[in-house]
Structure 1
Amino acid sequence: MAPPRPCRGVLSASSTTATPRARAPRGESRLQRHLQGAYRFDYSDTDQWPDTPICRARTILPFLAPYVTHDRDAPVSVDAPTFERSRTLGHSFTLTWDVNDTNTLKSITAYRQLRWNDLLDLDGSPLPVAHTARSTGGRDWSYNAASQELQLVGHTERFNYVGGLYYFKDSGFTYGPQNFFFNTFNFESDYGYGTKAWAAYGQADYKVTDAWTVTGGVRYTREKKELERYLGVRFDLTSPFFALTPLGTTAEHTFSATTPVLIVSYKFSDTVNAYAKYSQGFKSGGFNGEYSEVPSDFTNPAIVSATIANNIAESRTPFRPEKLKSYELGLKTSFADGRATVNVAAFENKTDDMQLSIFTAAGAAGSIIRNAGKATTRGVEIEATWAPSDALRLQASYGYLDAKYDRFMDAGVNEADNRAMIHAPKNTINLLADARIVRTALGDLRGTLDYSWTDDYYTYPYQLASSGPNYNPLRAIAGDTRVKSYGC
């Protein structure tokens, strides 16, 4: 057969058996009709320099006072040749086989590779206070991931169903130099990690009557996480590193969960549908590869030994999976011959062992995951669209959120009433108008006006005050030109 022809980055091809065409024309034609493949490839190469320092607004260090300003940065101060470089490579191949008129088998294969290097000056001054540098460059991060999925989709007169198997594998390693206070504290914070995950899932819709439909599904997930860790410190640029987390510190743990879903929907008419949904979710546990603790007194062998033992124990102790139970009621409507829709949903989420990312500076800077406890999130979402004509489309949405911790264990004490739920604004609003301004033989000129409002919210669970000012952007878009304004 003729070789496949690429088109716009997608490679589509028909496949046949090895039987010569003259001997099996009928079988070949059938396979060509029902077997289809699509290949995709992407590559990106980014090189940015120099980077603007990120800590410029205030300082408690008197020798940095001359470099502090609240004005917009024009000149900036750095003491290292800063840069950021990234290389990303991705492949995917999807093979679809129409087994018969009611069943389709699909294979989805994907691979992604990422390489990242940077050297950052974090203090915003010409003094060597905080940066990520080593003699061979800066930080270096490499990552690879591969996945394979087999999926069967089919239907009968009253059933729609999907089932599949999924496999995922990834690995990565980070070399993380950190230098502080005129190179008197130099850290080598390195960690590697890997995941092997398997999953099996199935879901089916059963049409009980013309009005009632019941959907049930279940997924079993099993993940194996691995970690290797090294943390070293030295007090100048020439001495050897002293290991605070020794080479050979490794850990592994397997997490698994079975998560169901159940949906009951009722069709009042062709334009009104209501549903009730219950589902469970699962976010796997893992290891804190960046945990770093430094002895309070390097001259005391007992303190040094205890710090090393704690670093090893923290690196090897996994944080627990986050589990979710979700309840939802919804109503979907359309009217005006399909030109208008109004959708309403109310939900409640119960989270157990919520995972929180916490920045630490007890030695080398890093972020670790802690299980906070239990949380409840309730809310309402309303979305409406209206197209009064082919040239104009209007859209509005509103969200209300009430989120709180039911239990937040900190040093053995329940601090739920004193901890802030992060990234949980109480009110969000979005308004959008999209209009065709003029139509010509060459195409349409359209304009879009988009307004968004988000209440203030917390970004860190230990915050005493919420973030501000409120985010209120108004964006006017015409063609490829965007104008943004920000207000309080």
Structure 2
Amino acid sequence: MNYKNYLFTGLLISAFAVTADEPVGAVQSENASIKEAVKLSMTEQSMEVRSVGGIEEVVVTAQKREQSLQDTPIALTAITESTIEDLDIQNVVDMAGISPNVMLVETPSNNTSATIAMRGGVTINPAITWEPTVGVYLDGVYLGKTQGAIFDVVDLERVEILRGPQGTLYGRNTLGGAINLISQRPNGSGIETKLTLGNYGLTQAQFISDFELAEGTYGKLVVNSKERDGYVHNAPGPYGGAQGVVPSADPTVNELDTINSHGFRFTIARDTDNSSFDLSVDYNDQSNTPPFAQLGHTIPNWSAAFGVGASPATGGLKLWPIELYTSKGRAKVAHVNEAVFEKSEVSGIALTYSRDTNLGTVKAILARRDTEWSDNLDLDGGPFPIANTSRFTDYTSETFELQLTGERGNLNYVLGYYALKDDAYTSNPQSFFGGGTDIAQNYSGTGDSEAIYGQFEFAVTDKTNVTVGVRSTDEDKEGFKEYVGLISANGEGSFDDTTGTFIVSHDISESANMYFKVADGFKAGGFNAESSNPFAASTPYAPETVQSTEIGFKGMFLDNRMMVNVAYFDNEHDDMQISYFTADAAAASEVINNSADISGIEIETTAYLNDTTKLMVNYGSLDAEFTGGAVASDGFTLEQFPYAPDHTLYVSLEKDFGPYRMRLDHSRISEHAIFPYNGNDPRAALTNVASRGVTDLRLLMDPAENISLTFWIKNLTDNSYVVNNIPFGPGFGQITLDYYGAPRTVGFDVRYKF
């Protein structure tokens, strides 16, 4: 495939669209004006309804056109601008717990990489050569990898979380679902500042300048700076002569789990009668220390078992008694010896142009994103040189998407072409047992993906719509890994598939509807660069497909005071790509393709209990199991389903007292596995995390017309809970590292609009 040729073809099509008949463009412009008036009217009505206790209208663009959330036949959670401001949502992890059957957590050992699971579909390996199962988009631009995916976007207008395959609507394959981050477009709103102060030395300053540069042209600059001290203090090892332990020297790093993040985003937007133009540039630089890898488990008397216990050669002192450093419950003090760090530098540039033509609205999106990411980790939980690893990663992606959306009578349609080209490289030196075992591995991968897609919705009657979609995908990938010495592994693979979508939606009444949906998803195969086996590293694992069947209901009741949305789904995965940690080294994994069946129920409700009290309850249930008997080359079999809790629950209670509002948010996740180990493996029990519940409390007020003030407490009960872990297995004496969630934090936000 020649990416540049396709890009040139796309630009030619755009140029042709630009020269479409002006009279039609004028008609389109008039229609657009009518749409804007209708949208404004809807907003005004929503505000009026809300003032008397009704549920506001939410307009989404999940199907590439403006629709009411309740009229969209998709399992969809929409997070509005008011909720974003209330909860101070700035990145993908900030919205964790809100959407049913969705998990959003940091990857083990890092704060800038995300693990995203949706309906049991997940990519648990954060290596840069792996493709995420859930697509994340920023203003229509695909964010290609999980490394560096956690960065602040402080001017969000809306977030849409779409559950289930969305390939016939979105440029990149979204086998598990999609998360759309939609920023506020420049509109000349002026200057806005925000200051946040909290415990643990939290200081965050935000500045937004939004002005009209010329008639119809607006510019917006967003600057963000965030710093926070560590949740864990690092100190020398506490054990002295009584335990026979050689005390460690002063640590190189004084605090763990710190944040030092700075970034900006600049956008220019221009509108004419029948076209729009947007150019955005964003940059984020983080220099943090990683979370504490807390030692949760080892075998008894680890030091003696590994020959570093008490001996005459050490004067009767134990050399590396790591077993003394095991602990349960979130630690406040750590004792690690490595100079740990985590750095992430992410930048992007995107150009979006759209124009109304006689065929519909043509939109072209051209973007490039770059990531420079690195870390240095202490992976033994103590002050000894047992396990240290580093990663130095570069990633670049270039994307082009061309869309045509329109309507003809009873037909709404979306047509699109998408191309992605990316290049990834990681250097991953590792050192174990005081340098007795050193591993130097470098790996890289390239991808070249193209797709055409289309979706057509036809109004069969005034109450029944039928939607048909199709997508054709073609991907080429290359993988390379360099082992110790002169050994290397190279591989090439091509993957293609055609997938479809079929939806029937029916209005039961003016305020309730139901839908039936069948959708296919596809995720290309690839190369496992972390395999210790050169043959496995050069042999592509199989692509993954899913057929999703879904039945949904959406309704408004009690004079628009209660919303109930329900979805039942059954996903049948073939060749599900599951990575499992072999613990041959800190970054060593193998891949197994297996079939799986995942079904569940999702319920999203919002109700006004009275004119001043709003209750939201979102619940999800999952039943996930592997249905195939696939066995890996090393004999490994799958049993536990990673990141697939049986139950997720989110409850939000908001009370308006007049001068101020109070908001209580509680999220709960049931017990679940982190890795897919079977019951015969002792690591299975060690890596299951207990159920957890987290409660946040907020007091919000507007003391003046242009000033808002929020006092907040996150993790109100100071709950101590494990989010992730890493099991090193028998080769490392069952060392298991636990990563805990944040402790209770307290602070306030002050927002001032000029």
Alignment TM class, shorter chain as reference: 0.7 to 0.9
**Within 2, Cα distance between the matches of 1:357 and 1:415?**
11
315, 330, 335: which is aligned to 2:557? 335
Alignment of 1:73-472 (within 5 A): 73-100=331-358, 103-132=360-389, 138-232=390-484, 242-243=485-486, 245-246=487-488, 249-292=489-532, 311-363=533-585, 365-371=587-593, 373-388=594-609, 391-411=612-632, 419-439=639-659, 445-464=660-679, 465=685, 467-472=688-693
Secondary structure of 2:672's counterpart equals: coil
Question: Which has the higher mean CA deviation after the structures are superposed, 463-472 or 155-164?
Answer: 463-472
Correspondence for 1:54:
293
Secondary structure of 1:313's counterpart equals: helix
1:483 equivalent to 2:714? Answer yes
How many percent of aligned residue pairs carry the same amino acid? Answer: 33
- Conserved 8 A contact 1:375-1:403: yes
- Conserved 8 A contact 2:603-2:618: yes
**Shift of residue 167 of structure 1?**
0.5
Matched residue type, 1:387:
Y
The superposition leaves residues 66-97 of structure 1 with CA deviations (integer Å, 9 ceiling, x where unpaired) of 65141654443333322222211111121110
The superposition leaves residues 351-378 of structure 1 with CA deviations (integer Å, 9 ceiling, x where unpaired) of 111111211223563233321x211112
**Within 2, Cα distance between the matches of 1:459 and 1:119?**
22
* Cα 1:105–1:140 shift into 2, 3 Å: same
Give the total of aligned pairs. 427
**Within 1, Cα distance between the matches of 2:556 and 2:670?**
30
* Cα 1:76–1:335 shift into 2, 3 Å: closer
**Within 2, Cα distance between the matches of 1:127 and 1:10?**
49
**Within 1, Cα distance between the matches of 2:586 and 2:614?**
52
**Within 1, Cα distance between the matches of 2:298 and 2:466?**
60
Matched residue type, 2:571:
N
In structure 1, the gaps of 5 or more residues are 15-31, 133-137, 233-241, 293-310, 440-444
**Shift of residue 400 of structure 1?**
2.2
* Cα 1:387–1:43 shift into 2, 3 Å: same
Matched residue type, 2:335:
S
- Conserved 8 A contact 1:407-1:414: no
TM-score, length of structure 1 as denominator length: 0.81
**Within 2, Cα distance between the matches of 1:190 and 1:413?**
23
**Shift of residue 264 of structure 1?**
0.8
- Conserved 8 A contact 2:601-2:620: yes
**Within 2, Cα distance between the matches of 1:415 and 1:117?**
31
**Shift of residue 269 of structure 1?**
1.6
- Conserved 8 A contact 1:59-1:68: no
694, 703, 723: which is aligned to 1:473? 694
- Conserved 8 A contact 2:294-2:326: no
Which has more strand, going by share of residues? 1
**Shift of residue 290 of structure 1?**
1.0
**Shift of residue 230 of structure 1?**
0.2
- Conserved 8 A contact 2:674-2:689: no
Secondary structure of 1:314's counterpart equals: helix
**Within 2, Cα distance between the matches of 1:327 and 1:415?**
30
**Shift of residue 6 of structure 1?**
1.5
**Within 2, Cα distance between the matches of 1:419 and 1:458?**
10
**Within 2, Cα distance between the matches of 1:211 and 1:38?**
37
- Conserved 8 A contact 2:577-2:591: yes
* Cα 1:475–1:5 shift into 2, 3 Å: closer
Larger radius of gyration: 1
**Shift of residue 142 of structure 1?**
0.6
- Conserved 8 A contact 2:673-2:689: no
RMSD across aligned positions (CA):
2.5
- Conserved 8 A contact 1:67-1:124: no
Secondary structure of 2:334's counterpart equals: coil
Secondary structure of 2:368's counterpart equals: strand
Secondary structure of 2:535's counterpart equals: helix
* Cα 1:54–1:316 shift into 2, 3 Å: same
Matched residue type, 1:376:
D
- Conserved 8 A contact 2:592-2:630: no
* Cα 1:480–1:195 shift into 2, 3 Å: farther
**Shift of residue 430 of structure 1?**
2.0
Correspondence for 1:239:
none
**Within 2, Cα distance between the matches of 1:230 and 1:402?**
40
